[in-house]
Amino acid sequence: MTDICPFGEQIQGKAARMGIFFKILGIVGIVLACAVGLVILVIAALLPAKVKVRIGYLENEFILSFKLLFFRYTVAPEKAKKKKKAKKSEKKTPEKPEKEKKEGFFKHQTSGFGVYDYIELIKIVLEKFVAKIYFEKLDVDITVASDDAAQTAQNFGRLNAAIYPLAGLINGHKRIKSLHIGITPDFTISNSVYNAEAVAYIRIYNVIAAVISIIKYLL
């Protein structure tokens, strides 16, 4: 038998290593494709999700919170914070000259805007953002009162004139699931009582569309 040529052994060794390399490359490619596909699926699932806002004034306390899927962030009322330990007195350091503040993107892009440009921006915000907001709940209970009966009656009339048309406008566009408004005068007490709560939401793709429209106009 003749011995295999050393050159042939080298070729076979390189071919084997290349085969292993391509197998690893294929596995990495499959993993990356799966990861990209998962990210796309997550984004696609999040786009229709609702960003909910709960805002109100209940029992003399302002409330404001945001919710996205299972995540909730409360702005007010603030939770009681633990008292921090007194910090040690800091050594005085020589004051450094303040750096010039860079101009923000919005300010830079609108520096040459006129009245009509701002009107167009407001129009975009109204059409692309505000018009896409829906209310799950709008609950208002107000007891109007003051020291003077005439003033109470006047305030009662003003509140009715301000609140009912606005609620009717929103409700007329079928954008409220639950609506309750109660405004009553009380001539036996001296201070008004305000209780109001609204739960509104907008879908993420509407927010993104509004942001894109604004940026396109600015650019």
Residue 17 confidence (pLDDT): 67
Task: Return the percent helix, strand and coil in the chain, to nearest 5.
Answer: 45, 25, 30
Residue 217: name the closest of 133, 113, 115 by CA: 113
HSE-up of 42 (CA within 13 Å, CB side)? Answer: 6
Which residue numbers in the chain have pLDDT < 50? 1-2, 80-89
What is the per-residue pLDDT for 115?
65
What pLDDT, on a 0 to 100 scale, did the predictor assign at position 196?
Answer: 86
Query: What per-residue confidence (pLDDT) applies to 71?
Result: 84
Please choose, from the candidates 56, 77, 214, 45, the residue with its C-alpha nearest in 3D space to the C-alpha of residue 137. 56
